[in-house]
């Protein structure tokens, strides 16, 4: 019997989005200036510069009813990835008149429009659940929302936009 490789287990990543202050507090507590927030009935858009070594700009939509965050990373040329969208699963809620909160539930989905949709980090989700960092209900919810998202994207020709359009959601980007 082979043993599964060790997984770096960490607490769920929490972020805050302060629309009034135009800031995004990342999971490590760094407060980043935001260039633009835009609220729509289905969620919150954020665009900001990034000082990450692999990408220089980030655009995200928090979509609470779908339990997803859709992100476009603007990579530096030497770090480009074969992906159109990066989708995080989790809880995305408005916690005050101008404040939103994101709690990551480990699972991620990479969308390559028209080609495929890939689920990532199942090992992280299971490890976090095993050590008690994510309860049964949140673990089950992450799996169910991932399945719904992948099924919706795949059923629409591996197009995130086409799937969201069936739900009355149109995401706009810079």
pLDDT digits (tens, 9 = 90+) for 2-33: 455 567 799 999 999 999 999 999 999 999 99
The answer to whether the beta carbons of residues 171 and 161 sit under 8 Å apart is: yes
> Domains along the chain?
14-165 (2.40.380.10)
Give the β-pairing of 23-25 and 31-33: antiparallel
41 burial (CB, 10 Å; 0-12 / 13-18 / 19+) is exposed
State the pTM of this model: 0.93
- The strand pairing partners of 55, in sequence order, are 75
Q: Are strands 55-63 and 116-120 parallel, antiparallel or unpaired?
A: unpaired
pLDDT in tens, 102-122: 999 999 999 999 999 999 999
Q: How far apart are CA 17 and CA 5, in angstroms?
A: 35
């Amino acid at each position: 019997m082979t043993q599964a490789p060790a997984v770096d287990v960490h607490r769920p990543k929490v972020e805050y989005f302060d629309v009034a202050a135009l800031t995004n507090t990342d999971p490590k507590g760094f407060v980043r200036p935001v260039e633009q927030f835009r609220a729509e009935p289905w969620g919150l858009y954020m665009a900001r510069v990034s000082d990450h070594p692999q990408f220089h700009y980030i655009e995200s939509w928090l979509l609470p009813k779908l339990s997803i965050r859709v992100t476009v990373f603007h990579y530096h040329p030497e770090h480009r990835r074969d992906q159109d969208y990066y989708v995080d699963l989790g809880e995305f809620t408005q916690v005050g008149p101008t404040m939103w909160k994101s709690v990551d539930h480990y699972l991620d989905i990479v969308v390559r429009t028209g080609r495929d949709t890939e689920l990532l980090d199942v090992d992280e989700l299971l490890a976090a659940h095993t050590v008690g960092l994510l309860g049964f209900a949140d673990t089950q919810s992450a799996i169910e929302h991932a399945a719904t998202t992948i099924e919706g994207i795949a059923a629409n020709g591996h197009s995130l936009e086409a799937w969201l359009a069936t739900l009355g959601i149109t995401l706009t980007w810079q």
